[in-house]
Amino acid sequence: MALVQSILIRRVSAKPGQIFAISVIALFLAIFLIIPAGTVIYTAFTEKGTGALTIVNFVDFFNTDLFRRSFFNSVYVSGMSVVWASAIALPLAVLTTRFDFRGSLIIQTLGFVPLIMPPFVGAVAMQLLFGRNGTVNLILNDWFGIRIPFMEGLNGVIFVQSLHYFPFILINLSTSLRNIDRSMEEAAQNLGSSGVRLFRRIVFPLAMPGYLAGASLVFVKVFDDLATPLLLNVKDMLAPQAYLRVTSVGLTDPMGYVISVILIAVSIFAMWLSAIAMRGKDYSTTQRGGGGLSRRKLSRGESIIAYGVVGLILLLVLSPHIGLLLLSLATVWSFSPMPDGFTMAHYGRVFGESSLYIKNTLIYASLAGLIDVVIGGAIAYLVLRTKVVGRRWLDWAATSALAIPGVVLGIGYLRTFYGVTLPDGTPLATLWVMVVLALAIRRLPYALRACYAALQQVSESLEEAAENLGATKQRTIRRIVLPLMTGGLLAGFVTSFSTAAVELSATLMLIQSNSDAPLAYGLYVFMQSPAGRGPGAALGVIAVVMVALCTLLSHYVIERRQKALGMTK
Amino acid sequence: MLKTIAAAMLMSAAFVVTVHAQDGGKVTIVTSFSKDVTDPFKAGFEAANPGFTLDVQNKSTSSGVKYIDETKVNNQVDLFWASAPDAFDSLKSRELLAKFTPSVTGLPEKVGSYPVNDKDGYYFGFAASGYGIMSNDRYLEANDLPKPVEWSDLTKPEYHDHIAIAAPSRSGTTHLTIETILQGEGWDKGWATLKGIGGNLQQVTERSFGVPDAVNSGQTGIGIVIDFFAFSAQASGFPVSFAYPSVTTVVPANIGIVANAPNQAGAEAFVNYLLSEKGQAVLLEPAIRRLPINPALYEKAPEGFPNPFKDPRFQSMITFDADVSKKRTDVVDTLYDQLISFQLDNIKGATKAIHEAEKAVAANEQAAARALLTEAHALIAAMPITAEEAASQQIRDAFTGGEEKTARQAELEQKWAAFASEKYAAAKAKAEEALALVD
């Protein structure tokens, strides 16, 4: 009876505005994610040939050695990638937020660059540096007669994935660290705690929302990523198995879709676990604007060590981009530590076309990023601050987008929207807006996790105080919640924007003409021939530089705004 | 009365033609070819047919087929242009291609022993491609390896861990190579060769271009590729070589008009241009380097360029039976995946053990050890099904979901994979036993 009553009260406590918001978001997710993906993944539950409903395909999945092995490999690789990504991200995040360290700006700007790994060329560049006959191994072999298998087998996948995805942890953890109330640290210091103990017992636990947001993203992203294993020719993992089966010419094999369903289930399970880990704990602190943790000055010796560590890590994580730059300037680079010669011709070749690609990429990626931040922020608010029924489902649904292979979403869009035509007869699916929506859906989980972490650190008491003073809900959100979440929203926008700018798999299905094509597509078109390798790399460099500049600009703008706000206070 | 109608039709036809001459509109083409190939053709076509503009949509062969299938209700694509004949066959069987008779005449009917055009006129060969072995000169020199020329060379111990191939299930053209070897050497002997090569593989890539890419950059020494990948890499300055083995075949790369094309006239104009002498000449450009289908062009070809119509080595190439190939496509691809691609560590481990034991036995010949090695080879070569079973209705239906199936595809895959890993483990044990005997 009490239970029924409490449910009733909960229902009643939902405001009309909240119900409206949840319905709009649910509708958006249904139309642009669940229905399109559902039309494709439905095959998993049908019998081949007859189309009758069945679950025999799932029985087959668990009876097949290959799939069982793939499943365990995927779990192992994802787990280890989280460990290594944390090992890279932790020192960088701590150095930049806890110490007065002049390299901070470099880390903050360069730290997210690994996320912008253009398809294909990124892979070629990595192979040229770390492959079996890449620069490093050719030199090692020359000097010491040894080779290190960086890029082979499961360990190779872990190596590349950690380098590629550690920025998820870095960005979210730094944001969290910056949001910690200094008084907590001071209280601990007053009680005699310092050094590692202070970090382990006070600082790190308080930054947990950011760390978990990043770590769970890395886990799920690595679990669902197919590009890296395929570039290393590792096939016994789940995502590549799904991809190989979904995209083969000819017959439809239900197993590809069965694997997709399993990928979705595992991704949601992982997110659920991370939510469980946070349950019942309060990470919010009330004081804001104090500039976060106090920064300690480094002594001379410490400084040298810090610069050394940062330099080494940056050299390692930026090596694919260094390789990319070399490739874009190389004449011929084959079985040698360095290219045979250098030329600017590749840039000349792509110069004319790249402006169109750049314009399209900027429009698509920034629109997708904005959509993601708005929807991600709204979902985070609904989940954490309201009691509307079904709010958790929004979170799960949006997260499942991580696990849906881009090509499945692309086919789903064609299936769902190609039949719908505009008055002049052009199919809805051919509009460039569809590319934006597909990108937004694919990158929504990134922004969502960042918004979620940001809101978890805002104390509800601040909102209550505002409401006690007579502010309406809307006004509270606008004047209190949003300004306090700025850092997290920016982190969300940056990750969504920069990864959407180099996304290919869904776009390849949806791009209808060259004039609508983004950079990643232009790159793909070049990268299918030996002569196109250089121009492709040149486009890749342009993409990386462009995305990096835009991100820097948005950091700068937000920072100035915050400073300006601080002045008027 | 009839005359008036005829005159009116002529008038309107003339009108339509003049309208098209002024503005043919956009011709949309879906292709798997790179920009290096499409750009010169776009320029040449637009110059030769003023008024038309060619809009190139680049998609991988498999996404292209899926795309045309998914968008058929409101088709916006005029042409499909790619290498693999099986993709066209798949489109044709789903009635997604339109019949057409090109105006260009006098082209040969066969290249090597493969028919150039679809027998029902749904798609047309515009260039010939042969399969062979591409190698990186610097890599071979650094590893002190001779240049391989025959498939059987690739099974030799010195090439262990130096070869790359694209998975036949992913690359229609590699599938044809596999099928060529199977038809040329017979089912059992052919698979023994394929598994011999399989035991020496460094990587099985998931895209056709992954192989020449790996050879160009020197990540691997030897790749099994289609000829133009090697020729265009040479033209771009990469230190690579290419050889046609004696058991190979030349197959055409194709173009077809999509059913219900929005710009049928433009589509026809492009096919005619592609087959004309002007269009064929574009194929010889350094970044493209494909073998034209028009024999006259070979007079303009650079020195040393192979001519499949004159060159005796192409005449001796085997006859390729497209019907046999079509019947067992899925089975052959799945067998390759389950026995080689997904078992790569096992088959490589067993092969390496055999190579080591053979070396030791050669130095200290013993009949018992030799017998063990013969057994080990037989274990590696063992096949879970015969050629007849591979083409049987029961097994084919397992892949299509047809009525006569006796097992689901997933069950067959598991059975074959288990068969292979058991045999490879046994082969490794035999080889180790042989090594212990002579050591």
DSSP reduced 3-state for A35: helix
Judge whether B195 and B380 are in contact, CB under 8 Å.
yes
Q: Which two tokens stand for residue A457?
A: 């650190």
Residue B250 phi/psi, 5° resolution? -105, 135
Q: DSSP 3-state helix, strand, coil percentages of chain A (rounded to 5)?
A: 75, 0, 20
d(CA B288, CA B299): 17
Q: Which of B58, B342, B421 is facing A524, going by the closest CB pair?
A: B58
CB pairs under 8 A between A and B: 197
SS3 B221: coil
Instruction: Look at phi and psi of residue B111 and say left if phi exceeds 0, alpha if psi is from -120 to 50, else beta.
Output: beta
Question: What are the structure tokens assigned to B67, written together?
Answer: 């795309």
Q: Dmax over Cα atoms in chain B, in whole Å?
A: 100
Higher pLDDT, B122 or A504: B122
Collapsing DSSP to helix, strand or coil, B123 comes out as: strand
Query: Which residue in B206, B218, B236 is closest to A530 by CB distance?
Result: B236
How many CA within 13 A on the CB side of residue A266?
A: 23
Please give the angle made by the CA atoms of B209, B381 and B179, to the nearest 5 degrees.
40
CB within 8 Å of chain B, chain A residues 511-540? 511-514, 521, 524-533
Lowest mean pLDDT among A335-339, A429-433, B40-44: A429-433
Closest to A255 in 3D by CA, of A415, A78, A63, A509: A63
In A64-151, which ranges are continuous DSSP H helix? 65-98, 104-110, 121-130, 135-144
In this complex, do B218 and A249 lie within 8 Å of one another by their Cβ atoms?
A: no
Question: Does B239 contact A124 at a Cβ distance shorter than 8 Å?
Answer: no
A80-120, pLDDT tens digit by residue?
Answer: 999 999 999 998 888 888 777 777 777 777 788 888 877 77
Cβ–Cβ < 8 Å for A506, A442: yes
The 3-state DSSP class for residue A294 equals coil
A530–B229 CB contact, under 8 Å: yes
**How much is the pLDDT for A138?**
93
Provide the residue type at A21 as one letter: A
C-alpha distance from B57 to closest chain A C-alpha (Å): 6
User: Measured between CB atoms, does B57 come within 8 Å of chain A?
Assistant: yes
Calpha distance A420→A402 (Å, rounded): 26
A247 close contact with B: CB closer than 8 A:
yes
Q: What is the pLDDT of residues A516-566, one digit of tens each?
A: 888 888 888 887 788 888 898 999 999 889 888 887 887 777 667 666 655
Interface of A with B in 160-179 (CB under 8 A): none
- Tokens 């007053």 -> residue: A190
Mutate to test the interface with A, among B162, B213, B406 (most CBs of A within 10 A): B213
Instruction: Determine the Cα–Cα distance for residues A148 and A151; give it in Å rounded to an integer.
Output: 9
First vs last Cα of chain B: how many Å apart? 100
Q: What is the pLDDT of residue B6?
A: 53
Domain A13-46+61-279+296-337+345-568 in CATH: superfamily?
A: MetI-like (1.10.3720.10)
DSSP 8-state symbol, B132: E
Q: In chain A, what residues touch B421 (CB-CB under 8 Å)?
A: 65
The CA–CA distances, whole Å, from B28 to A357, A476, B275 equal 19, 53, 18
Q: List CB contacts (< 8 A) between B169 and chain A.
A: 244, 248
pLDDT for A439 beyond 90:
yes
pLDDT in the model for residue B14: 44
Predicted confidence (pLDDT) at residue A11 exceeds the cutoff of 60? no
pLDDT score of A13: 56
Quick one: DSSP state of residue A30?
I
Helices (H) and strands (E) in chain B, counts: 19, 13
- For range A465-479, the mean pLDDT: 86
Q: Give the pairing type, strands B163-166 and B222-226.
A: parallel
Among A124, A410, A427, the residue with its CB nearest the CB of B217 is A124
**Sign of torsion, CA A94 A100 A103 A107?**
positive
Distance CA(B399)–CA(B405), nearest Å, equals 8
The pLDDT value recorded for residue B19 is 43
Q: Does B67 reach chain A within 8 Å, measured CB to CB?
A: yes
A357 close contact with B: CB closer than 8 A: no
* Separation in Å, CA of A123 to nearest CA in chain B: 11
What is the Cα–Cα distance from A100 to A108, expressed in whole angstroms?
Answer: 14
Total Cβ atoms within 10 A of residue B50? 10
Per-residue pLDDT tens for A25-43?
999 999 999 999 998 888 8
In this complex, is the C-beta atom of A434 within 8 Å of any C-beta atom belonging to chain B?
no
* pLDDT value, residue A565: 57
Contacts of A569 (CB under 8 A, 6+ apart): A289
- Give me the pLDDT at residue A102, please: 72
Write the DSSP assignment of B150-183 as a string of letters.
Answer: SGGGGGSGGGTT-EEEE-TTT-HHHHHHHHHHHH
Handedness of CA A552, A553, A554, A555 (dihedral sign): positive
Residue A470, sorted as left (phi over 0), alpha (psi -120 to 50) or beta, turns out to be left
Residue count of chain B:
439
Chain B interface includes A335 (CB < 8 A):
yes
Q: What is the CA radius of gyration of chain B?
A: 25
| Sequence-ordered strand ranges (E) for A149-237 | none
Check: CB of residue A457 under 8 Å from CB of residue A287: no
| Amino acid present at A520 | A
Establish if B176 touches chain A: CB-CB under 8 angstroms: no
Chain B CB contacts of A407 under 8 Å are 63
Provide the β-strand partners of residue A53: A46
Q: How far, rounded to the nearest angstrom, does the alpha carbon of residue B115 sit from its chain's CA centroid? A: 15
What is the full per-residue pLDDT of chain B (439 aa) written as tens digits? 455 555 555 444 444 444 444 477 899 999 988 888 999 999 999 999 999 999 998 888 878 888 898 888 888 899 999 988 878 988 998 899 999 999 988 888 888 777 889 889 999 999 988 889 999 999 999 999 999 999 999 999 999 999 999 999 888 788 888 988 898 889 999 999 999 999 999 999 988 888 999 999 999 999 999 888 999 899 889 999 999 888 777 888 999 999 999 999 999 999 999 999 999 999 998 888 889 998 888 888 887 788 888 877 776 666 777 788 888 988 999 999 999 999 999 999 999 999 999 999 999 889 999 999 999 999 999 999 999 999 999 998 888 888 888 888 899 999 999 999 999 999 999 999 999 998 7
Average pLDDT over residues A46-72: 89
**Tokens encoding A58:** 């799932």
- What does residue A312 show for φ and ψ, rounded to 5 degrees? -60, -45
Q: Is the ipTM of this complex over 0.85?
A: no
Say if residue A1's pLDDT is above 70: no
The β-bridge relationship of strands B97-98 and B240-243 is unpaired
Confidence of residue A8 (pLDDT cuts 50, 70, 90): very low
- The rounded distance, in Å, linking the Cα atoms of A147 and A130 is 10
- Interface probe for B, chosen from A73, A230, A233, A332 (most Cβ of B below 10 Å), is A233
**Chain B residues close to A44, C-beta within 8 Å:** none
For A91, the token pair is 């020192």
Instruction: State CA B93 to chain mean position distance.
Output: 19
In chain B the domains, ranked by start, together with CATH numbers, are 2-129+252-310 (3.40.190.10), 136-249+322-438 (3.40.190.10)
**Interface contact flag, A531 B329, Cβ < 8 Å:** no
Distance CA A442, CA A408 (A): 11
- The 10 Å Cβ neighbour count of residue B189 is 13
CB A414 within 8 A of CB A511: no
